[in-house]
């Protein structure tokens, strides 16, 4: 049986951690406007924005492939400024049987931790997701700084 593995991506930010945290908590639906090359659609399907337990539908481009996923906001930790997202449906679940992304904002950095379990031995490490999260974080930081 495969084991759960973990990779991390870290991006430096100049914006206040509270602004970045609030964006990830309440404004994910804006990603297609900010990153149309990476996000085609982000839609809240169930629950409320900013609340654990909500279900979000993502249509995104990874590599040259457009994919879709349903993601549950599993936990929101205000003190730690972290949000945990668990993917439970979509093409990604054919590659990984477990895919959990946690974003933590602290000390001038955003850290993405991705825990995954490969569906089979030929499944790749999700480095492309780590690269995408770091790139998006840098762009988000620049966008939020321009909003001051």
CATH topology classification for 5-146: Alpha-D-Glucose-1,6-Bisphosphate; Chain A, domain 4 (3.30.530)
Note the pLDDT tens digit of each residue in 91-113.
999 999 999 999 999 989 999 99
Query: Which tokens in the block code for residue 127?
Result: 């480095």
- pLDDT category at 82 given cuts 50, 70, 90 is very high
Domain ranges within the chain, ordered by starting residue: 5-146
- pLDDT category at 88 given cuts 50, 70, 90 is very high
Q: What is the mean pLDDT of the chain?
A: 95
pLDDT for 1 beyond 70? no
Burial per residue of 86-114, b for 16 or more beta-carbon CB atoms within 10 angstroms, e otherwise: bbeebebeebbebbbbbbbbeeeebbbbb
Provide the H-helix boundaries in 8-83: 17-26, 31-34
pLDDT for 10 beyond 80? yes
pLDDT value of position 148:
64
- pLDDT category at 12 given cuts 50, 70, 90 is very high
pLDDT value of position 147:
87
Note the pLDDT tens digit of each residue in 56-70.
999 999 988 999 999
pLDDT value of position 63:
85
Contact by Cβ (8 Å): 53, 39: no
């Amino acid at each position: 049986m495969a084991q759960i593995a973990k990779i991390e991506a870290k991006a430096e930010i100049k914006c206040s951690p509270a602004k970045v945290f609030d964006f990830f908590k309440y404004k994910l639906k804006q990603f297609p406007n900010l990153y149309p090359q990476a996000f085609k659609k982000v839609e809240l399907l169930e629950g409320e924005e900013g609340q654990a337990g909500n279900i979000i539908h993502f249509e995104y481009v990874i590599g040259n492939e457009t994919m879709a996923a349903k993601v549950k906001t599993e936990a929101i930790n205000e003190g730690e400024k972290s949000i945990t997202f668990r993917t439970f449906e979509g093409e990604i679940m054919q590659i990984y049987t477990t895919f959990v992304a946690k974003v933590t904002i602290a000390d001038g950095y955003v850290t993405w931790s991705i825990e995954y379990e490969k569906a089979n031995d030929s499944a790749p490490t999700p480095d492309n997701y780590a690269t995408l999260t770091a790139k998006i974080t840098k762009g988000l930081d620049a966008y939020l700084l321009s909003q001051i």
